[in-house]
Structure 1
Amino acid sequence: MDKSSIHFAKGCGQGVREEIMDILDVHNMALSEKYLGMLTDVGVSTNGAFKYLKDGVWKKIQGWMEQTLSTGGKEVLIKSVAQAVPTYSMACFRLPRGLCQHIDGLLRKFWWGSKEGKRKTCWVAWEEMTKPKYLGGIGFRETELFNLALLTRQAWRLLTEPDSLSARVLKAVYFPERGFFGSRT
């Protein structure tokens, strides 16, 4: 229990904090802004909150741009590294559409490359490139659709395992009177 810590929302009063800490026998409060690489408080401004994802993808791609890579090498780097950077955050939050489009744009620019600071011609539409290989595409993930798929998986878990701890906590916080489909959040 000495290694455990608890994080409270900004609006939680000091008396409630102390009472919960006594009940749980946890005496350390987490004050960090990040937990498991994600921000602990997203708030209303989601574009600013998820800027670290855009920066993380850009940092990966920027290091690769200086190297001469084959198309197979670029494909592997995009699929296994660049598209994996935002995966954990996408499983927990719905990312803004503009951020998803920006990340896809970074990946497109890296794929088609540039010469002397000028972008090369894009010979195939991104929609074609996101198709599975057996349908003639390359198999890149469309960021926004992948985000929705991950969140749908979380919803499926809530519906199929209603007695799990996470399902009970989310029900108590977000939809105590109604069912999952009756909630607005």
Structure 2
Amino acid sequence: MDILDGETGQLPATYLGMPLGAKSKSKEIWNGVVERCEKRLSRWKSQYLSRGGRLVLINSVLDALPTYLMSVFPLPAKVEERIDALRRNFWWHGEKEYKGFHLVKWKILLLSKKQGGLAIKNLRKQNISLLMKWLWRFPLEGQSLWGRVIQAKYGKEGPWKTKEVTSTYGTSLWRSIRNLWHDFYAKTECNVNHGRKIRFREDN
């Protein structure tokens, strides 16, 4: 480290906005996201915003803040509830903290506009979709550094996926992703081109 003129740190730490060495299901790694949401809300002059303006800010700003972490880590239920509470209170009352009645259930506002909602993003579904992208990338990027590390640690089951993660130590992150395989597979279809990766008897 003296040669590189760097500093020696300790885990857990943050690198490029991503927590290193922290438990993947820990609520603490999401504190920064929740705090950023609260700071944004405190800056907005909500009393001068129409409902349409609030909706734009929710969809363009508040929904984007947790996306980076949600692309790697499963979203804890308590964190989801907290962020939803911030978004819900801002939409109805223009405040991050408000105790009162809401005219429509939040789950209805999350529906698409065709279904009678406002198309506000469902954080749980967004989180699952982002994690499933790793299952899609795994067979496509199997020779990349991260792909080789995953294969070496968990083994490979056919050309599309790793073996199921059964160990309980140091594997919670990939186990959370691997457990989504059956839902991912049910929503995926394959087009046979050169046929090098399609095995009709083995792929399931």
TM-score bin, normalised by smaller chain:
0.7 to 0.9
Query: How far has the Cα of 1:176 moved from its partner?
Result: 3.1
Structure 1 residues without counterparts, runs of 5 or longer: 6-25
Distance 1:73 1:170, change over 3 A: same
Counting aligned pairs with the same residue, the percent is 30
**From 16, 20, 31, the counterpart of 2:9:** 31
TM-score by length of 2: 0.67
Query: How far has the Cα of 1:180 moved from its partner?
Result: 1.7
User: Is residue 183 from structure 1 mapped to residue 161 from structure 2 by the alignment?
Assistant: no
TM-superposition CA deviations, 1:60-101 (whole Å, max 9, x none): 122225542011110110011011001010001112111111
**From 11, 28, 33, the counterpart of 1:53:** 33
**How many residue pairs are counted as aligned between the two chains?**
159
Structure 2 residues without counterparts, runs of 5 or longer: 167-174, 176-204
Correspondence for 1:91:
71
Distance 1:74 1:41, change over 3 A: same
The residue identity in structure 1 corresponding to 2:155 is: P
Correspondence for 1:63:
43
User: Contact conserved, 2:24 with 2:73, CA < 8 A, in 1?
Assistant: no
The residue identity in structure 2 corresponding to 1:176 is: G
SS in 1 for 2:75: coil
User: Contact conserved, 1:112 with 1:119, CA < 8 A, in 2?
Assistant: no
Distance 1:166 1:30, change over 3 A: farther
Return the alpha-carbon distance in structure 2 between the equivalents of residues 153 and 77 of structure 1. 26
Return the alpha-carbon distance in structure 2 between the equivalents of residues 135 and 83 of structure 1. 20
Return the alpha-carbon distance in structure 2 between the equivalents of residues 177 and 155 of structure 1. 13
Distance 1:135 1:104, change over 3 A: same
Correspondence for 2:54:
74
Cα RMSD of the aligned pairs, angstroms, is 2.7
Return the alpha-carbon distance in structure 2 between the equivalents of residues 62 and 44 of structure 1. 29
User: Contact conserved, 1:104 with 1:142, CA < 8 A, in 2?
Assistant: no
Distance 1:157 1:83, change over 3 A: same
Return the alpha-carbon distance in structure 2 between the equivalents of residues 44 and 152 of structure 1. 16
Return the alpha-carbon distance in structure 2 between the equivalents of residues 100 and 83 of structure 1. 11
The residue identity in structure 2 corresponding to 1:180 is: T
